[in-house]
Amino acid sequence: MTFFVTLFSTILVVCGKVNFTNLSRYSELHEKTYRRHFGAEFDFTSFNVELVNLGARTEQALLLVMDSSFIPKSGKATEGIDWYWNGCASRVEKQG
């Protein structure tokens, strides 16, 4: 768990692209440490629930809203190419 705390806090302070080299520049961990841990599974749902629980008071009503980013993909064989809602254009567009 310590690795993930370091990873997420370092991502917030990295200047430029977030890659293994820059992560190692802005933290005490070596580039190889990031490479080794990159393939490990991480439960983002539990992580996000915990963040909400830490930041919200129990007597407050909570509302969940999600507006996914629309990133155009290139190539015909790219995994995940399909029709998605593009909030910026307010319409459905095909990625790819």
Reported as a single tens digit per residue, the pLDDT across 42-71 is: 888 888 888 888 877 777 777 777 766 656
The predicted pLDDT at position 80 comes to 65
Beta bridge partners of 94: 83
Q: CA–CA separation, 93 vs 72, rounded Å?
A: 9
DSSP state of 90: T
Record the tokens describing residue 21, joined without a space. 């080299």
pLDDT digits (tens, 9 = 90+) for 69-90: 656 656 666 666 677 777 778 8
Domain ranges of the chain: 2-55, 66-96
The predicted pLDDT at position 75 comes to 62
